[in-house]
């Protein structure tokens, strides 16, 4: 077989395989106006920026409620940050133009469908620039590991399924600052001195608590260069870029929420006041001893709980915590300090919330994924034990994402249960690790994986050309109301939507596949 044909077959196979990740449960059920979820807040920002071309949320929010704020001029504003809207808005602007020209709506609006693709595009950008940085700095960089560790981190759940959350964008924000730092290392342009701090403040709008983004350039220089020789933070244009970034950030909080602030609790605790006591307790110095013990207990739970513990489900972040012991042993105290701060900041969110965040994985920690991929390739890529652990548990993480919510054992409880932290809460599963194994021996789990994905949509649409899909699926599974809706949506969805999904995944996989080929040739030359 000719190499080009062989590569095409491999790429097509991977495209259809990746379609099993590409879920329909959120995509074929458009967020309605006036909804109260985190997902809706981010979507409303993107809608008003990309479609309405304003910051008037009255079209999206029908009045005020506990999940949005009634601020100055009595206008409702989503409580969640605007950053997703800023990054996704341009894509919705283009989709809206196309939809007005060709009327592409089907099952859900074309704008919403395009919005669901944007996180995948940003993850792709993140992978590309990570490849660029690591290729330039390391001799034996293997991009396949990068792809595997990312797929197995849990992040892809928030790209391929619950796409309206901010985590894919956060991943991109961290690796983008790494990329800008890399460019500055090579060229040291005044424009980059300005752009780096401004970009950090701009990308802070994705999640206000991601303050560790401000030390990413320092971490990059410490990992791959001599930070003492690059005094970026002392450059005049860095100061100017930072100052303008501060001003723009504060102006946006004043315009949207009626106050100048960098503190997310000033906004979020207004609607999540049940957390206020936890937050205040952590700030009380008199509770230092109690808080210290709570922090240690929380850390152990975070790392090893059966309810999405990092060791089992997000190994690349676990390696970040492990690296701290290595830095102490190797007397890399500056790196130890910087990486500790970077991990401490999102950890504080877990400390306050005392839960896994009501969805898949410890998602508040996912902004560390990009950072820890750089740490792994710099310090651990030649360590066979760590690499073997990461490969095995990343594969397990991929399976865990696919099996999530496919059986009664792998779903989050809709009733109040006691979670791993001892808190009574909704949307928890303290025995999720065992639930994965129990679900893995249930045949229906695999049917759910396929037929809740765009691969299932493709199969059903092909079947509908020749036979009745209801009749076919009833041979394997009884038809209930949910399955009936799924089949009807699959049949009715436009072929254009399906073609866009296949084309998007094909282009992405082809590009990443070419990167693998490039690296293999590079290794042969060396």
Per the structure block, which two tokens stand in for 301?
């739970």
Examine the pLDDT at 346 and tell me if it is beyond 80: yes
Give one word for 29, left, alpha or beta, with left for phi > 0 and alpha for psi -120 to 50: beta
Per the structure block, which two tokens stand in for 210?
């991601």
Percentage of the chain exceeding pLDDT 70: 96
Half-sphere exposure (Cβ direction) of 459: Cα atoms closer than 13 Å: 19
Per the structure block, which two tokens stand in for 62?
């029908």
- Is residue 417 within a helix (H) or strand (E), and if so which, with residue range? strand 417-418
Domain spans, the chain: 38-403
> Three-class SS of residue 248?
helix
pLDDT at position 396 is 98
Return the minimum-mean-pLDDT range out of 32-46, 150-164, 225-239.
Answer: 225-239
Query: DSSP letter string over 64-132?
Result: --TTEEE-GGG-EEESS-SHHHHHHHHHHHHHHHHHHHH---BSB-HHHHHHHHHHHHHHHHHHHHHHH
pTM of the model: 0.96
Cα 239 versus chain centre, distance: 30
pLDDT at position 282 is 72
Average pLDDT score over the chain: 92
Q: Give the residue-averaged pLDDT of 137-152.
A: 95
Q: Give the residue-averaged pLDDT of 454-483.
A: 87
Query: What is the number of other CB atoms lying within 10 angstroms of the CB of residue 15?
Result: 20
Residue 474's pLDDT band (cuts 50, 70, 90)? confident
Per the structure block, which two tokens stand in for 233?
């933070």
- Pick the closest to residue 122 from 90, 87, 96, 92 (CA basis): 87
Per the structure block, which two tokens stand in for 155?
């992040």
CB neighbour list of residue 406: distance below 8 Å, 6 or more residues apart? 439, 442, 444, 445, 446, 448, 449, 452
Maximum Cα interatomic distance, the chain, rounded to a whole number of Å: 72
Q: Give the residue-averaged pLDDT of 49-66.
A: 88
Return the minimum-mean-pLDDT range out of 200-214, 281-295, 304-318, 450-464.
Answer: 281-295
pLDDT at position 199 is 98
pLDDT at position 275 is 64
- Pick the closest to residue 372 from 428, 319, 306, 426 (CA basis): 319
> What length is written for the chain?
526
pLDDT at position 72 is 65
Long-range contacts for 183-191 (Cβ within 8 Å, ≥24 apart)?
Answer: 184/217, 184/230, 184/232, 185/220, 185/221, 185/224, 185/225, 185/230, 186/136, 188/230, 190/235, 190/237, 191/237
* φ, ψ dihedrals at 108, nearest 5°: -120, 165
Report the distance separating Cα 422 and Cα 354, nearest Å: 8
* Chain segment 145-191, per-residue pLDDT in tens: 999 999 999 999 999 999 999 999 999 999 999 999 999 999 889 99
């Amino acid at each position: 077989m000719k190499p080009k044909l062989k590569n095409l077959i491999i790429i097509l196979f991977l495209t259809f395989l990746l379609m099993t990740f590409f879920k329909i449960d959120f995509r074929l059920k458009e967020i309605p106006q006036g909804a109260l979820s985190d997902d809706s807040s981010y979507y409303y920002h993107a809608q008003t920026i990309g479609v309405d071309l304003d910051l008037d949320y009255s079209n999206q929010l029908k009045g005020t409620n506990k999940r949005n704020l009634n601020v100055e001029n009595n206008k409702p504003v989503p409580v969640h940050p605007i950053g997703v809207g800023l990054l996704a808005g341009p894509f919705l602007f283009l989709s809206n133009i196309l939809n007005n020209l060709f009327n592409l709506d089907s099952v859900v609006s074309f704008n919403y469908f395009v919005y669901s693709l944007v996180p995948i595009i940003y993850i792709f950008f993140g992978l590309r620039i990570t490849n660029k940085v690591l290729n330039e700095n390391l001799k034996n960089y293997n991009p396949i590991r990068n792809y595997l560790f990312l797929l197995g981190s849990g992040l892809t759940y928030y790209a391929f399924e619950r796409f309206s959350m901010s985590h894919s964008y956060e991943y991109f924000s961290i690796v983008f600052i790494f990329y800008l730092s890399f460019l500055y290392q090579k060229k040291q342009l005044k424009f980059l001195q300005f752009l780096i701090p401004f970009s950090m403040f701009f990308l802070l709008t994705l999640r206000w608590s991601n303050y560790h983004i401000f030390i990413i350039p320092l971490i990059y220089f410490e990992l791959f260069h001599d930070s003492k020789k690059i005094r970026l933070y002392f450059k005049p244009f860095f100061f100017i870029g930072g100052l303008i970034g501060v001003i723009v950030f504060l102006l946006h909080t004043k315009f949207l929420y009626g106050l100048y602030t960098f503190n997310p609790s000033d906004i979020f605790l207004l609607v999540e006041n049940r957390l206020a006591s936890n937050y205040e307790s952590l700030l009380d110095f008199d509770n230092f001893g109690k808080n210290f013990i709570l922090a240690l207990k929380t850390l152990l739970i975070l790392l090893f709980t059966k309810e999405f513990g990092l060791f089992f489900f997000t190994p690349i972040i676990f390696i970040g915590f492990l690296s701290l012991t290595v830095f102490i042993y190797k007397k890399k105290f500056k790196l130890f300090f910087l990486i500790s701060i970077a991990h401490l900041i999102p950890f504080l969110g877990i400390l306050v919330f005392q839960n896994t965040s009501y969805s898949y994985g410890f998602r508040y920690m996912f902004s560390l994924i990009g950072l820890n991929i750089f740490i792994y390739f710099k310090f651990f890529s030649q360590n066979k034990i760590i690499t073997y652990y990461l490969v095995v548990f990343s594969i397990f993480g991929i399976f865990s994402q696919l099996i999530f919510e496919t059986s009664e054992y792998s779903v989050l409880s809709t009733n109040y249960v006691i979670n791993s932290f001892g808190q009574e809460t909704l949307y928890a599963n303290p025995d999720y690790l065992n639930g994965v194994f129990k679900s893995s021996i249930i045949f229906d789990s695999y049917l759910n994986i396929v037929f809740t994905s765009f691969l299932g949509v493709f199969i059903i649409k092909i079947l509908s050309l020749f036979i009745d899909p209801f009749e076919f699926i009833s041979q394997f599974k009884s038809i209930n109301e949910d399955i009936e809706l799924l089949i009807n949506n699959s049949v009715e969805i436009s072929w254009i939507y399906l073609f866009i999904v296949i084309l998007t995944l094909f282009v992405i996989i082809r590009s990443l596949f070419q990167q693998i080929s490039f690296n293999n040739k590079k290794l042969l030359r060396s």
